[in-house]
Structure 1
């Protein structure tokens, strides 16, 4: 245990001597948090030697099964790695029944692995950190922010197992109409929003604005811009946990599922990115040709990388249902100023605020891999000095670009042939994701749906 780590834990316990438990968990490939709840008397070992956990916890499927992708787990004897605390993230759990702390962990590879003792080559968080190292060579720092959309549902599903619209806290009636940017709805759900804000403050999560979105019971909560893209994704992961906990207090269920209803808006994860130099100056906002050139090169890289990145942005089978015309979801690699129909939007405002808003990913995609793919595309465009297509100044269109795979298996096939991503993202995590997603798809197709019986029986 380093002196700094020891000080962090000891200082926290001195300030919160009533702490009974410590929740220690890591973030897996599908966005689930997996770990242990330790008595506080045993928690110090986390900072000394880490928490021994099967390395496959990084890539269990959404149901918790180990599919042994590429013989990476049971094929190797299901080895343990040591999951270690991430500095600076130890915090109270304000919604716990007993005084509890939490800490986000990062897995290291097991004894016998060539990478033993280092952040696991199958850890998406570690892969993002490696991608960021490429920017250091260019003396650039990405400043990023994550926006998360989600739905509130009733805690109980219908008799058919379908999600049920949340009941408005003021009227007691199920939500039936969309009211984007509604102040009345923010008032109606004020207790929930204030609770999320309080949880975020308690856990040092830099949450920002809250708005109602384009479907009944849909919301968006933003995170502030940060000069550490890994930390920004950590905060997105922890904010999701806080939002779900805040919803439970009111008997609601918060879901980041990308497309819960075909006829309503899906939930996205929008990534805002600017690039600053060693003096902290936003180069995208620099006046003259230099700033414009760098911005256009970054956009061009995102455009050419989009087809091979869709398996990451879509995330899962349901995520690809989100790519439909008419729902403010990009179905072409278009870009434009102040235009929500495009994939790569330059929001209104200039100077220090000028940035790219990447609007492609679903809310339940892995934030570390989404961020890595976005940054990889930008790097490619800058290093190759690419030029983007002409700016789209109206509706980007209702016809999907035939060169971009908007179907899950096609996206996996294109991902497997990626040329740009492996140059800037560790190949091990890309190969793991390719193998894992194929196995998840095979498992999913092993079940006969209700609709198949309705149509074909």
Structure 2
């Protein structure tokens, strides 16, 4: 890691940052000449910093605050090492970190450790998940009283309507997307295809699959920071908010995954389109966990505005082969690439909690050998399916009582997330719709 800084003498400042339970980057700015200390000895800040609400406030009555004297944890660099921050004016590097106790134990309230814990269960069985994410976001002109699509830097004109898979929509913001891909290359984020989406000023970029699920979550977390930061440099906003416009589609974040055995073979592949028993058990586990996991997939007040029938976001708990109306989709294609696409989450999620929740549920299904219901065909919105929680309060209580959630996540993280979301639920009731948008637009 120190070699990286020696190879980049232009970097004068660094940021050290960890993801809190809302996926917000919490950390410090340090002169580059003091970076060795952060690398070698770690960085200290309070445990409570990884358990702040969406406003950045302490959680009332949290045992991490006054009851413990607001004690410090120690944060060490992740395997990622330094990455550039190309959205800032001056040459700057980010050092991702995660939290431990002084005796070396992982802090159970750190969402990255929650994912590492799930992956350790896979490793104990000789299994390796392969993960990819697809991220939707809006480019937005938020300079006026109402949100609207930004004007094209090339033509000065605004898109008059949705233009799905239109090259001209991408070309209108060519300079932004060129800078974005260059930033991804510099940060080792495997950005693949970009498309224009169904919403006004909405786009999607796929990140390539990797057999390092921690890196996949890191990539997703860093990508969201990069997109938002670069958009501001270009004079507009970028938002992964689940539903920034009432009349436009929401932002989803789809997760694809398969699982390899010790020989590197995909355990979901049986040579045919239907997949193996392991695939079906994993599907069953994901479906069984969905009600309790909804708080991971839709963590904010605005998240539930996206989850309405017929709006390209699932509302029923069902699965199907190559069917985008279901909560889970088994894409078509070569059997060796047989995988599950989890379609419930919005763009406003914490990537570490999402990947941990989905992979943990799939593993539970495989461990228990449970069978899924029959696959759906046709339009899932008009079928008699069990329904996902449709309110934030309902999702919070489902998370609190779910045996599957208790099986996937440590008790401390569950308790901390519940305190966080119950506090946010209380205070969000005081906000106007305009204040809700202002809060979420740049944060999630």
Query: What's the counterpart of residue 337 of structure 2?
Result: 353
Aligned partner of 2:90 among 84, 91, 98? 98
Q: For residues 430 and 157 of structure 1, what CA distance do their matches in structure 2 show?
A: 39
> Partner residue of 1:196?
180
Which 10-residue stretch deviates more, 421-430 or 169-178? 169-178
Q: What is the distance in 1 between the residues matched to 2:434 and 2:172?
A: 36
CA contact 1:276–1:283 (8 Å) conserved in 2:
yes
Segments of structure 2 that go 5 or more residues without pairing to the other structure are: 436-444
Unaligned runs of 5+ in 1: 1-7, 452-457
Separation in 1, partners of 2:182, 2:117: 33
1:299 to 270, 283, 287: 283
Q: Is the 8 A contact 2:15 2:95 kept in 1?
A: yes
1:83 aligned residue (50, 72, 75)? 75
State the shift of 1:145 in Å: 0.4
* Cα distance per residue 1:253-311 (max 9 Å; x no partner): 01110111222111111110001111111121232699421111111111111111111
| Structure 1 residues 390 and 183: CA distance shift in structure 2, 3 A | same
The match for 1:127 is 114
Contact 1:47 1:85 in 2 (8 A): yes
Secondary structure in 2 matching 1:434:
helix
Q: Deviations over 1:81-135 (max 9, x none)?
A: 12211123312223332222111111223x5xxxx43221100100111011111
Residue 372 of structure 1 aligns with which residue?
A: 356
Q: Which residue number corresponds to residue 194 of structure 2?
A: 210
Alignment of 1:236-247 (within 5 A): 236-247=220-231
CA distance in structure 2 between the aligned counterparts of 1:450 and 1:182, rounded to whole angstroms: 31
Determine if contact 1:178/1:216 at 8 Å carries over to the other structure: yes
Distance 1:234 1:368 in 2: 8
SS in 2 for 1:283: coil
Length-normalised TM-score, structure 1: 0.91
Distance 2:306 2:119 in 1: 29
1:107 aligns with 2:91: no
- 1:336 and 2:323 matched: no
Match of 1:284 in 2: 268
Secondary structure of the residue that 2:209 maps to in structure 1? coil
Q: Does 1:17 align with 2:1?
A: no
Residue 419, structure 1, aligned to residue 419, structure 2: no
Choose 93-102 or 370-379, whichever is displaced more: 93-102
User: For residue 442 of structure 2, what is the aligned residue in structure 1?
Assistant: none
Deviation string 1:382-412 (CA, Å, 9 cap, x unpaired) is: 1111111111111101578555312110111
- Aligned CA-pair RMSD: 2.0
Q: Deviations over 1:315-337 (max 9, x none)?
A: 11111111011111010111111
> In the alignment, which residue of structure 1 is the partner of 2:52?
60
Counterpart of 1:29 in structure 2 is 21
CA separation of 1:231 and 1:68: change in aligned 2, threshold 3 A: farther
Whether 1:42 and 2:29 are equivalent positions in the alignment is no
* SS across alignment from 2:377: coil
